[in-house]
Structure 1
Amino acid sequence: MIGRTAEIDIEKLYDVVVSPETWPHLLHDIARSANAVGTCLAADHGRATLVARPVSPDLTAPIDDFLNSGWYKRDLRGQRAWPLLRQGRKVLVEHDISSEDERRHSDYHNEWLRPWDLPWWGTLGFSLEGQHYGLVFLRNSKQGAFTHEEMHRLHGLQADLGRVLSLIDLLSIKQAEGMLDGFDLVEKPAFLLNASGRVIRFNAHAKPLLQTDFALSHGALRTAHPQSNERLQKLIATALTAGISASRTEPHWIAVERPARRPLIVNALPVMGGLADILTGARVVLTVNDLEHKRLPPPDMLWAVFGLTPAESRLAMRLAAGEDLSLAAEALGLSAGTVRGYLKTIFAKTDTHRQSELLQLIARMGGI
């Protein structure tokens, strides 16, 4: 039975914002206050239930099984509870969502819950920015079923949980915006997506791609090439649900085909794990590698590192940009013999022996 008042240190709840590693210990304390095996935070994801990791320590193995065995796709409790929570219910217990016959005979109860001895469930429901959440409590057979009265005694947690998630959501967006700025510094296009897969930010280097290779349709990022667009949407969907299962094997990148040009490589990066996995704000950063784009070092770097003269640096940069020796000579107003002489000197100063080695060296310097 839960005591007259759930003894939870609310300050510890707010500490989670800056010290996320304390979350499982806090969940453990909350579970003990409710005489439960453990507790976890879950989110309504339409046809599936998302669970934020980590969970309270005593639920780690059962929740891993729930996610990795695919029970989150056949979550009977979620299928019954989320519609009620969307209607405004704040407290639910096992008897609200399952019958005695189901608890005795359903696959869900017998194949997943019974082996872990977690027959009894209760949740505190709340919403944030249109997203519905539940703080889920699980009890074993000895601890017995939750009552509405017991769950109502924990009702005060809901408001504080909402505030904490709002702060974490804001922090994750700020961190993601910092990532976008960082990618700008290395000339890499990047898009920031929310939990619905909609673009909510993009950096300066991503903007030109929206005029040529990508388009935004009601916030959704798309490509003109049908097969590439199909791969892109699958990549985004996979990245958004990356927190569901610990054993996902889908690739985290795709190639976007372009007519008469080399493809773009799109990578998906999660913003952060843990509680952010079930929030509605910043969830995924997509970065784009343009195989047509050559990022070259500034000419003065070649002079500073290898002692190349300004004329030698200009020649090296033109070669690195894709010009052959004759085109570079014409552009620089030099004879073929002079250019060959410069190239021989450049080889000596950079300790390279052929043009391909030189180009690889300059390309590596472009990533500094």
Structure 2
Amino acid sequence: MKYTIDIEEFSRLIKALYQGILESVPWSGFLDRLQSKLDANYVTIVISPPTDDHDGLFLTTGSTGKDFVASYNSHFYAMDPFVDLPSAKVVSLDEFISGNERINSEYCRQFLEPMDVFHVLGVDISTENGAKYSLRISRGYQGENFNAGDKELVELLVPHLQEAIELHTQLGRIETERNLYAGAVNQLAVGTIILDEEAKVLQSNQVAGDLLKAKDGIELIGGSLQVGSSRDTRRLKELIRDVLAAQNDNQPSVVEALRVQRPSGKSDLGIVVRSVPPSQWSKAKHTPSVVLFVGDPDQHSQAPRDIVKTLFDLTPAEAQLAMILANGLTLDETAEELGISRNTARAHLRSIFSKTGVTRQTMLVRLILKSVATLG
């Protein structure tokens, strides 16, 4: 006799499983719902087993705490008979070791018994990239053993769990790439502000966030950007409308630019406005539509001295001088900041010219700023 489950109840389980991909703690809602459905005391997902240089990641219901994870990783994982299961096959602990044997085992007495775990149902899922996800559902000593119906329910979930894991892995890769590129833009000291189709701010990077907080030539009021004077703001809105109009008409990407004077008297901000290439399948509201790149001449990109030193075979003193010159100071100003004489600074500069093959200070600045040093 096949196991049956109410279609609405099963749909809620599946919905929680796929929504769990986007949760800050993945699948927490799904694990809670499955725990309730199977009358379990714990439902746990372990992402990859612990190794010498990496702990398995535990996502679990209940209040196991860090001590539980640490003790399992450091000691009890090696004693656990319920590991390395056949991929995507649901099995119970009884199929590996009988109840009487468990009661007398050291693993049960030292680890399972204090957690009130006796009956366990589980499945391992291996991914193409070598990761392993282990789902474990447990009941205590006073609980009933898992029956065929419980097992069949988990079997119904396995294909969906495999798909959700694959989606979670893909989104993780995308998030990693996004963070990498965002970090590179931050290193270059370029502010980025992403707007939706109504010109409302969706996201900004750290550089742009700092500029917005300073409220010196650009700020956020009621979700809308205000720049410079009222005339500047009107001009910015016109540029954004032009970019959006071109995007809506499927025209090639439009790029506009604006220079904004700051009340503080600091160097003017430079703003480039361009459309965000839309996804072919995404026509929803509040999607990234326009990006603003904001340049602040007074905010210098920081190239680590050791990176500059290695890339151009410079001494520490030469690397420090080259970095300060790249940030716009004259040779005299650089000498003063470093506390060295002008002659010493000139000697360093001549050595730098010899090592880099450039002959003018402007060429040196261009070389450093266009190198990968600023991404270090």
Structure-2-length-normalised TM-score: 0.48
Structure-1-length-normalised TM-score: 0.49
